[in-house]
Amino acid sequence: MPASLSLGVPTTRLAPSPTGALHLGNVRTFLITWALARRLGWRIVLRIEDLDTPRVKPQTIALTEDLLTWLGLAWEGEVVLQSRMRDAHVLAMQQLASRSCVFPSPKLRSEGLATETPQSAPNEGAHEMRFGPELRPPTRPSEFADDAPTWRFATPNETIEFTDLFAGPQRVCPASTVGDFVVWSRREGSPLGQAAYQLAVVVDDAAAGVTHVVRGNDLIDSTGRQLLLLRELGLPAPAYVHVPLVRGSDGKRLAKRHGDTRLDAYRARGVRAERVVGLMAAWCGVLPREQPQEMALAEFVERFSLATLSQEDVVYGPQDEAWLLGESQRSGGTR
Ligand code: GLU
């Protein structure tokens, strides 16, 4: 329980993965995070999750920071780059090894990526990827050495329960969905491994004193894995706020296939930040869904409430893009 951290300043984080620039789905989650933090007096830190991909261009990181600033978001202290947290990640692996709950293993065919990212994380249905007790070595080492293609967490067969501050009571069973998940993985073409997403996120959140995690509800399943790691590492669990995703009209999570929904593409087309915030207001229950209006960030913060945020995903439709680009205004407001 987060008793020790409750003595400190409540803290949340913005944790973009710089694999592509921010899109409208990220923007919605970040504005919700920002509004909650401003209203409830939480500190905000910015962590760039640059372990997800072998090649993160420095200009992509700079663009992410620039876009957040353009929206009006700010953060305290130095920006944390996950790739610079290696020492803390190694220490955590040593601790997990000393508790015999991790073991070295070969990489499975389907695990070509350097790390298990939230988006690529094997979940239900990925049975051929599931490592279970029958594949564990008979004895587990008590020390960590960065000399195996992957290290896995020996997932206990138990159901993890937590109460999400927005999504409500949750029950997840990592042993049956993902089994022994990867916590450390060797990078392609490198003699060294690095922390996988599940491990990096808990270590980095704890290092930054994060007490409140606000993120997309596609990560609820990952939260079960993260709570197991936190327990073994003796770290307090943060409070979780998992919010619905933005999807394309085909029902899939907003991505490249839905056209160019990157924030910098809209900015380059002359869309003002207030217009983006106004669309987010319509997507977050601040304004009626079909009636976006330009809005200053401060007003969004004042009017936002989790109580009026829908539990349903947002579907990004052509009318949203038309409004963002101001086409509805030019054509006299008809839609
Ligand atoms: N970096 C992840 C993303 O951009 C978020 C991970 C997290 O919040 O734990 O989706």
Instruction: Band the pLDDT of 330: cuts 50, 70, 90.
Output: low
% residues pLDDT > 90 (the chain): 74
The minimum-distance atom of ligand 1 relative to the CA of 49 is 1
Question: What number is the average pLDDT over the span 211-217?
Answer: 97
The two beta strands, 160-164 and 168-172, are antiparallel
Predicted confidence at residue 118, as pLDDT, reads: 54
Question: In the chain, what are the domains?
Answer: 82-203 (3.90.800), 249-330 (1.10.1160.10)
Question: What number is the average pLDDT over the span 90-108?
Answer: 95
Predicted confidence at residue 130, as pLDDT, reads: 78
Measuring from each residue's beta carbon to the nearest atom of ligand 1, which residues come in under 6 Å?
15-17, 49, 118, 201, 215, 219
Question: What number is the average pLDDT over the span 288-303?
Answer: 97
pLDDT at residue 4 greater than cutoff 60 = no
Cβ–Cβ < 8 Å for 29, 291: no
Sorted by sequence, the CB contacts under 8 Å of residue 90 that are 6+ apart come out as: 144, 146
- Helical spans, DSSP H, in the chain: 24-40, 58-71, 86-98, 174-177, 197-207, 220-233, 263-268, 273-283, 297-303, 318-324, 327-330
* Per-residue model confidence as pLDDT tens digits over 136-183: 999 999 999 999 999 999 999 999 999 999 999 999 999 999 999 999
The minimum-distance atom of ligand 1 relative to the CA of 215 is 8
Predicted confidence at residue 60, as pLDDT, reads: 84
Distance 91 CA to ligand 1 centre (A): 22
* Per-residue model confidence as pLDDT tens digits over 313-329: 999 999 999 999 996 45
Distance 311 CA to ligand 1 centre (A): 19
pLDDT at residue 123 greater than cutoff 50 = no
The minimum-distance atom of ligand 1 relative to the CA of 52 is 1
pLDDT at residue 265 greater than cutoff 80 = yes
Higher pLDDT, 128 or 190: 190
Cβ–Cβ < 8 Å for 19, 53: yes
Distance 140 CA to ligand 1 centre (A): 30
Cα-Cα-Cα-Cα dihedral sign, residues 136, 97, 220, 2: positive
Query: Which of 26-40, 103-117, 205-219 shows the lowest mean pLDDT across its residues?
Result: 103-117
Model pTM score: 0.91
The minimum-distance atom of ligand 1 relative to the CA of 205 is 9
pLDDT at residue 122 greater than cutoff 60 = no
pLDDT at residue 35 greater than cutoff 60 = yes
Nearest residue by C-alpha to atom 8 in ligand 1: 215
Distance 137 CA to ligand 1 centre (A): 32
- Return the SS3 of 182: strand
Higher pLDDT, 119 or 170: 170
For a mutational test of ligand 1's pocket, the pick from 13, 197, 215, 241, i.e. the residue with the most ligand atoms closer than 8 A to its C-beta, is 215
Higher pLDDT, 257 or 61: 61
Question: What number is the average pLDDT over the span 90-114?
Answer: 85
| Phi (first) and psi of residue 296, to 5 degrees | -75, 150
Average pLDDT, the chain: 89
For a mutational test of ligand 1's pocket, the pick from 201, 205, 218, 254, i.e. the residue with the most ligand atoms closer than 8 A to its C-beta, is 201
At 193, list the tokens: 């491994």
Predicted confidence at residue 115, as pLDDT, reads: 44
